[in-house]
Structure 1
Amino acid sequence: MLDDVLARIDADLEASLDRLFALLRIPSISTDPAFAGACDEAASWCAAALAEIGFAAAVRPTAGRAMVVGHRTDPSAGPSVLFYGHYDVQPVDPIELWDTDPFAPRIVTRDDGSKIIVARGAADDKGQLLTFIEACRAFVAVTGRLPVPVTVLLEGEEESGGESLPPFLAANREELSADVALVCDTGMWNRTTPAITASLRGVVGEEIVISAASKDLHSGLYGGAARNPNHVLARILADLHDETGRVTLPGFYEGVPDTPEEQRAQWAELSRNDDLLPGVGLSIPAGEAGRSVLEQTWGRPTAEVNGMIGGYTGAGFKTVIPAKASAKVSFRLVGTQDPDKVRETFRAFVRARIPADCSVAFEEHGASGGFRVDLANPHLARGRAALTAEWNTEAVVIGSGGSIPVVGQFKSILGLDTLMIGFGLPDDQIHSPNEKYELTSFHKGIRSWARVLAELAE
């Protein structure tokens, strides 16, 4: 049966591309109100595509952009799955750097004969979500059914904050219940090695503003006598790490698990062929000693200073002691670290270092916890087996240093573990001009999802 489904996917590739191009032509930019109608059009297109293959599908309004929900429950002993993707896209600015119209999708053949799909949303996330829908289409065409019960949830404001998703999940918890969630908004380890992302770091964002004098001061007249907020801020930020690279906030490492030895060994092996630092002109890891680059970015928490502002920063030179200095600080979290506790501890850490004649104000910028799938999870093993069979290369289990809030929300609101399976590549230029998606990623992505669904059904 699976062989027939895979053959159908191969034969139907041109039609699948036609459907992808139709979706890519819709400029569903969620962050710009001028494109609200296009977002509605994309939601309707997705609902119609699901209905066409037998899903009970509908566009569901929210306070923001609409959700698309589709259900198809065929008789099956396999686990029920909740598949998530998003139909909205990033703005196209700067438009002058695009080679052609961002919403006029095209296939480009490169010098080596490989082909890419170029358009806004090609990789993030329309091409990715259609790999799953097209796999379902092939199963229905060949067998008249899906091998496992499937619910599809497509969001329309992932690129603009996703504020409507948590309340939607909470309000529809029973309807969206499943045994495992599948998220496609990730990538492969490299061009030939498939991957399942099994861990994500959470994030806490904080902005601090330290104030001293009532106005900027002449550094000659006041220098040495007046408190300089830049000095205060610099000392506080420097105190966040010790000489070994560990974060010094009290209790910061509570809830941080040891990386399983099997996982650590695999990440160390992958690190030998990783160009994360050399790719940006660096060579010496700066984090915790004794840990590979990939373990540092995938399995360990961090404190990073993302921006510092204080005093005169324009052209030329101006000798002032600023009245205020500010910094934007983010913490990446793993395991069961509590985002609220990290925020509270950081604020107490800062307040304890503020001189008596200074004051500090804080502004929070979001928070989410980390996420990890147990390596013993049977769905993870089946997903790896399916990907390995399709790509003829052993699928690896990787982490992500970034955060995908929906995965944490699936866990906290729906109680679901998530397999993050995607076919993007680091050079897909998502969020940038000339975004692309490999034709191989699209084609073999469809075949991969067909194998995953069949494997889960076992």
Structure 2
Amino acid sequence: MNDTRLAPVLDRIDAELPAALDRLMELLRIQSISTDPAFKAECDKAAEWLASDLASIGFNAAKRATPGHPMVVGHGEGTGPHVLFYGHYDVQPVDPLSEWNTAPFEPVLQDTPEHGQVIRGRGTSDDKGQLMTFVEACRAWKAVHGSLPARISFFFEGEEESGSPSLIPFMKENAEELKADIALICDTGMVAPGVPSIASQLRGMLKDEFTIVGPRIDLHSGHYGGPGLNPLKEISRIVASFHDKTGRVAVEGFYEGVHEISDEMKRQWENCGFDEKTYLESVGYTRPHGETGYSTLEQQWARPTLEVNGLWGGYNGAGSKTVIPSKAHCKITCRLVGDMDPNALRKKVRAHVAAQLSPDAKVVWDSDLEGSPAAVMNTERPEFEAARGALTDEWNREAVLIGMGGSIPIAGFFKDVLGMDAMLIGFANEDDAIHSPNEKYNVESFHKGIRSWARILAALSE
């Protein structure tokens, strides 16, 4: 894109930042908590606000009904590539309210010594502030040139924070309308402050839960202590067998479908500004405790895990109760990478547990838990390098392709349901306190996020 066409758009963004902040504040005041039925009208109000705002800048936009909260879909006229931008307007509950220093739905601008000016309030970073960066970039393009540098569609969800029950049915019913050349997702962040980041891979998830059953009833530990099989001892031994001494998962076949990262990806990760010491010390660790031979970022982004999330049984009340419990329980999750198949992996994990069982011990598995594969982005697409160059120009720092330890299911849904690749770019920081009291979004993230999207749109249209 000719710089003479982009430069006035960036100037417009700078000049209109106060007005953009005012619009964001208006959206943030809407209490769109999707998980609580008491806020259904507020979710509807947020969807209406977004549809109206998109219409005000020339998009054919509407609030679309679902069995749950509405979706917002908007289409703009333009030439060149067709991009679909996704964000979500719903937010997490604000509890515990007593830990907020400001009213969560009365957003304020605050000056801080660490981050300069921040926007404080629920939804500032997750995800209203993020989604408005793209809207404001489009607003600036339309104001300056009367048109957009690409064909743009919007897709805003209202149930992301409550499990997205309406999402896949809506996508399937409206697949032809929603399909585009590529999806852009803003619900993500930067690997370190000031380091622009594009997520290249997201770990998948497998959940499971099992119960070890021993004696028919709880037993007196004096009468049966010794000869009696204790389910708590049994389950502890099984849990200990999940990993070897190097931190590697000891389940046979667990690593099928796992791929090593490229040397170029490793170079970017090593130079991305990630502060391992701060990352570990912030939660009380002195060193990483994962798989030997892999860096902290590799362990978090590119290696699969098997974690014990809950372990309980027997008497947990005050004082002592001398029993051998009848049952013991365990919840586990696995984070998946590469081409790992969650259904095949579930069978392997269950086979491992069955192989460890002692005589007289039985295992009962939960039959109602889900799994989803990892999402690996097609970084060979030219859009990734175009976006990386645009981000590098804006932040004056090499943009990096990163991994993410968690899961963002929408990225996989775009591929599975619509056959679309996705690119995840966001400007949140690790300390934004999303889902927690005192959530914030740096004004720099908002301002430079708008400018970044303006540059990316220009780069994608070249």
TM-score above 0.5: yes
Moved more, 188-197 or 266-275: 266-275
**Structure 2 CA distance for aligned equivalents of residues 324 and 271 of structure 1:** 47
Cross-structure match for 2:206: 204
Q: What is the aligned-residue RMSD (CA, Å)?
A: 1.5
Aligned positions of 1:124-139 closer than 5 A: 124-139=126-141
Cross-structure match for 1:312: 315
Q: Which amino acid aligns with 2:438?
A: N
Aligned positions of 1:39-54 closer than 5 A: 39-54=43-58
| Kept in 2: contact 1:193–1:395 (CA 8 A) | yes
Cross-structure match for 1:58: 62
Q: Which amino acid aligns with 1:228?
A: N
Cross-structure match for 2:178: 176
| Kept in 1: contact 2:269–2:400 (CA 8 A) | no
Give 1:233's match in structure 2, choosing from 232, 235, 247. Answer: 235
The 3-state SS of whatever aligns with 1:85 is: strand
Is residue 415 from structure 1 mapped to residue 413 from structure 2 by the alignment? no
| Alpha-carbon displacement from aligned partner over 1:396-432 (angstroms, at most 9, x marks no partner) | 1111100001111111111222111111001101111
Cross-structure match for 1:295: 298
Give 2:451's match in structure 1, choosing from 444, 447, 454. Answer: 447
How big is the shift at 1:271?
7.5
The 3-state SS of whatever aligns with 1:117 is: strand
**Structure 1 CA distance for aligned equivalents of residues 319 and 397 of structure 2:** 56
**Structure 1 CA distance for aligned equivalents of residues 161 and 274 of structure 2:** 33
**Structure 2 CA distance for aligned equivalents of residues 443 and 418 of structure 1:** 23
How big is the shift at 1:272?
6.7
How big is the shift at 1:234?
1.2
Moved more, 286-295 or 270-279: 270-279
Give 1:362's match in structure 2, choosing from 361, 365, 368. Answer: 365
| Kept in 2: contact 1:423–1:445 (CA 8 A) | yes
How big is the shift at 1:371?
1.4
How big is the shift at 1:356?
4.0
* Structure 1 gaps, min length 5: none
| Kept in 2: contact 1:82–1:181 (CA 8 A) | yes
| Kept in 2: contact 1:268–1:292 (CA 8 A) | no
Q: Which amino acid aligns with 1:305?
A: V
**Structure 2 CA distance for aligned equivalents of residues 279 and 220 of structure 1:** 45
Aligned positions of 1:114-153 closer than 5 A: 114-153=116-155
| Alpha-carbon displacement from aligned partner over 1:113-157 (angstroms, at most 9, x marks no partner) | 811101100100000000000111111111111111111111111
The 3-state SS of whatever aligns with 1:101 is: coil
Give 2:339's match in structure 1, choosing from 317, 336, 339. Answer: 336
The 3-state SS of whatever aligns with 2:430 is: coil
Identify if the C-alpha distance between structure 1 residues 113 and 84 changes in structure 2 by more than 3 Å, giving closer, same or farther.
closer
| Alpha-carbon displacement from aligned partner over 1:176-214 (angstroms, at most 9, x marks no partner) | 111111111111122221111111000001111112223
* Structure 2 gaps, min length 5: none
| Alpha-carbon displacement from aligned partner over 1:353-391 (angstroms, at most 9, x marks no partner) | 333423222224331110122443211101111111111
Moved more, 22-31 or 256-265: 256-265
Q: Which amino acid aligns with 2:143?
A: A
Moved more, 282-291 or 32-41: 282-291
The 3-state SS of whatever aligns with 2:397 is: coil
| Kept in 2: contact 1:28–1:42 (CA 8 A) | yes
Identify if the C-alpha distance between structure 1 residues 112 and 372 changes in structure 2 by more than 3 Å, giving closer, same or farther.
closer
How many residues matched? 456
Q: Which amino acid aligns with 2:330?
A: A
Moved more, 437-446 or 263-272: 263-272
Give 1:286's match in structure 2, choosing from 284, 289, 293. Answer: 289
Moved more, 421-430 or 340-349: 340-349
Is residue 37 from structure 1 mapped to residue 6 from structure 2 by the alignment? no
Give 2:102's match in structure 1, choosing from 76, 100, 103. Answer: 100
The 3-state SS of whatever aligns with 1:141 is: helix
Percent sequence identity is 54
| Kept in 1: contact 2:86–2:186 (CA 8 A) | yes
**Structure 1 CA distance for aligned equivalents of residues 273 and 122 of structure 2:** 31
How big is the shift at 1:23?
0.6
How big is the shift at 1:324?
1.1
- Structure 1 segments of 4 or more deviating over 4 A? none
| Kept in 1: contact 2:89–2:156 (CA 8 A) | yes
| Kept in 2: contact 1:271–1:292 (CA 8 A) | no
The TM-score normalised by the length of structure 2 is: 0.95
**Structure 1 CA distance for aligned equivalents of residues 268 and 451 of structure 2:** 26
| Kept in 2: contact 1:181–1:416 (CA 8 A) | yes
**Structure 2 CA distance for aligned equivalents of residues 25 and 241 of structure 1:** 48
